[in-house]
Amino acid sequence: MLLMIGIPVGVILALLFFGDRIVQPSGNYSPGRVLNTPRPDPLLQLLRADPNFSPVLFRAFAHLVFVKYHESRGGMARHSSDDFAVAPYLNEELRKSVRESKESVREVIVGDLSIGHVTLGASETSVRVLFKANIVYRSNAGKDARMLVKQQMVFKRPRGLLTREPERVLALGCPSCGSRAEPEVSGRCLQCGTTIAGGEQDWQVVRLTGTRPEPVSGPVGESGGVEVGTNLPTVVDPGFHAEMRALKMRDPAFDWTAFRVRARAIFMKLQEGWTKRDEAVLRPYELDHVFDAHRIWLQRYREEGVRNVLEDTRIDKWEVAKISHDAWFDVIVVRIFASMIDFHETDDGKLLSGNRTRRRTFSEYFTFVRRTGAAGRKVLNPLHCPQCGAPLDNVSRLGICGYCDSRITTGEFDWVLALITQDEEYDG
């Protein structure tokens, strides 16, 4: 499985793991046994006030805001005066901290994002989001220090606002016109004149707290055997059967076999790209925030002359854990059980961690999403562009097919990967 160099085993970050797994069961897909009681997603409370709300979209948005805040604070995302797109989503105190920051940030990789608490007030809504991340700071002498950061962001917005389309939400910039320029001190957008800097139009981070960053050490790895958590019972949503019926009603053409083919293709391409240290192999199959985290890790592997080799994957089974639906996405979560050879080595073949002969057995929860408008579409070959059918050998970093100019990584055409969660972390 994919182990993150520099992160102690006890704090391995769940989102960044996507080893070699996707299960190919015999016959039709069926849910696992409901042996654990899932914890209801607190974000679902927001549907009461906002029928357009999407837990998948909010998590992607929160991930983006966290990354862009730290990148802007370190200068990575502020190459010009009109490139502070995260500014409308930060309160004045945080915007000031960005302007005054003297730190140099080289990388920001979110490993775990969890929802701490949701409050529905009479006039506003707040969500606490907990992050674990690796942030690489560069000193004036040009030396890098990789730190484990644990922080909490509190997002607030006025009650009654409706969530915008995913493309607009994830573009950041002015919620009204999309301008990427920092608002005036008064809070007005420089381009459209709308007051935005006080959180009037969308979510805004009003508080950021955290523990002191901790340095992380060298490579980590396992020597084989059964991974912790693999023997835990599968956490299955009690509403699975009702949601399955609802999915078939929304999409009478939905077929588990076709989904399995797509999911297996995604899984195998992830393993190939990771072993080759080639993020272009991964790009067609991942939402942006997942791809960005993986891209940065693969870049680091290349710079350090390290490969994480994943070989001889054997898929044992999978169990469907959850099916859900919101205004923008259909969601399927599956728990995948598999084994593989997994080790780290240098470019000249020196073993750093893991084991070249002893297999690791593991399971993880994979979350796949597609846009609701993709229901009914039939894609014949998951290794070709789902829009034009061309080979996936010319997909840009933005996820745009070089043959038809379609952005194929948003779930608009077919299922894509949104999240990977360790079995000991998944709670429904």
pLDDT per position as a tens digit, 153-187: 999 999 989 999 998 998 888 888 888 877 877 77
* Residue 186 CB contacts under 8 Å (≥ 6 apart), including other chains: 195, 197
Q: In the CATH scheme, what architecture does the domain 9-39+221-422 have?
A: Roll (3.10)
Residue indicated by tokens 């679902």: 44
Please say if the pLDDT value at position 345 is more than 70: yes
Q: Write out the H or E segment, with its range, that includes residue 228.
A: none
pLDDT exceeds 80 at position 380: no
Neighbouring-strand partners of residue 132: 112, 150
Structure tokens at 202: 């969308």
Q: What is the pLDDT of residue 350?
A: 94
Q: Read off the amino acid at residue 339.
A: S
Residue 213 CA: distances (Å) to CA of 63, 134, 148, 156, 210: 19, 9, 6, 25, 8
- 110 φ, ψ (degrees, to nearest 5): -80, 125
Strands (E), 347-403: 351-371
Q: Do domains 9-39+221-422 and 43-215 have the same CATH topology?
A: yes
| pLDDT higher than threshold 80 for residue 22 | no
Show me where the domains of the chain are located. 9-39+221-422, 43-215
HSE-CB at 50 with a 13 A cutoff on CA atoms is: 24
- The class that CATH gives domain 43-215 is alpha beta
pLDDT at 8: 28
Query: In whole angstroms, what is the distance from residue 401 CA to residue 380 CA?
Result: 17
Q: Name which of 308-317, 397-406, 419-428 the model is least confident about.
A: 419-428
